[in-house]
A and B are shown apart, each in its own frame.
Chain A
């Protein structure tokens, strides 16, 4: 499979994702949901759950998930498609979307994990369809965003910020 160098999420697709996530929050009674890229970058969050640093949380969860996939390999499993982290008050269920995104659902002990799994499976299938469109559109959209002037502006900023 050709490796894309970029993934571009348009306004329209993000709105679809937001609607999907809202529905999932309502159905699971989750306190917080994140959609991450597998590199740890946050695409979207909804809810509160007292989380102040979504950036760090995304990096940690993606690292943990990535690590678990290698555990699967060592066990002779093809893959772990989801991981479940159980706390005393809150739990976290993380599921993979088409080997690119991670759907993270934070829910309390009142909600049953079985319900979360069933609804997450449905959501990941829908997100998979969104991702397929995003992948198809990314090359086309890139040309409208990244031009010579943009690159030049970024380089100037890099020189300014990363200076001795």
Chain B
């Protein structure tokens, strides 16, 4: 839920990057962190295992500055993608104002991606939210890999709601900002 603090004149929104393990959620945040101006970002906080797999979440606070007298802050989170962390993912989803679903476009990940989006829909229903009426964007990541499925195939299986989607190669930064722009604007349009 977006928080509007009239006394401090701040608006806070939470964006969560969701998806299977190794799909590129953390990579998205790392790219954003490297690219945005220093005065707009806080520290990138990563609660991860020794092998750098996300254990709890990554967190990146962004300050867009003052707009019409209000300070606009976006807080970006990722969830841990591995199967055993399902409950942790629900904990991180709490209070999200927008979701980016990051898809590993490789053919052998299709089933996992499908299960992940079903899980997300279930969690959102449990939180009282309808994904069909919610700021939700899909990113087709890893488009540089040799065995990726064509985007129309991914769209057919994973984007039945026809939400905005973007191709990406997050490790190079391609598609990262278009995804984030769209998600942020979608949240703003519903404020």
* Contacts from A to B (Cβ < 8 Å): 1, 3-11, 14-15, 37-41, 43, 53, 55-56, 59-60, 62-63, 66-67, 69-70, 74, 138, 141-142, 145-146, 149-151, 153-155, 157-159, 161-164
The 3 nearest A-B residue pairs measured at CB: A39-B95, A14-B7, A66-B91
The answer to whether A158 and B185 touch across the interface, beta carbons within 8 angstroms, is: yes
Task: Please state if A40 and B2 are interface contacts (CB–CB under 8 Å).
Answer: no
| Contact status of A39 and B43, CB under 8 A, knowing A59-B59, A141-B6 | no
- Please report B residues at the A interface, Cβ cutoff 8 Å: 1-8, 12, 14, 32, 36-37, 40, 42-43, 45, 47, 56-57, 59, 61-62, 64-65, 67-68, 70, 72-73, 75, 77, 87-88, 90-92, 94-97, 128-129, 173, 177-178, 180-181, 184-185, 188-191
User: Is A4 a contact partner of B1 (Cβ separation < 8 A)?
Assistant: yes
Given A10-B6, A158-B188: A53 in contact with B67 (beta carbons within 8 A):
no
Please, which residues of chain A bring their CB within 8 A of the CB of B91? 63, 66-67, 69-70
A135–B167 CA distance with the chains assembled, in angstroms: 39
Contacting pair B12 A66 (CB below 8 A): no
A6 touches B12 (CB 8 A): no
Residues A38 and B95 in contact, CB atoms below 8 Å apart? yes
Chain B residue with minimal CB distance to A100?
B1
Indicate which residue in A63, A141, A158 contacts B181 across the interface (CB closer than 8 Å). Answer: A158
A60 to B92, CA, bound (A): 10
Tell me, rounded to whole Å, the shortest Cβ–Cβ distance linking B2 to chain A. 5
* Contact for B7 among A4, A5, A15, A164, CB less than 8 A: A15
- B47 contacts across to A, CB distance below 8 A: 60, 63
B1: chain A residues within 8 A (beta carbon): 3-7, 37, 39
Which residues of the partner chain A approach B8 to less than 8 Å between Cβ atoms?
Answer: 14
Q: How far is the CB of B71 from chain A (nearest CB, A)?
A: 11
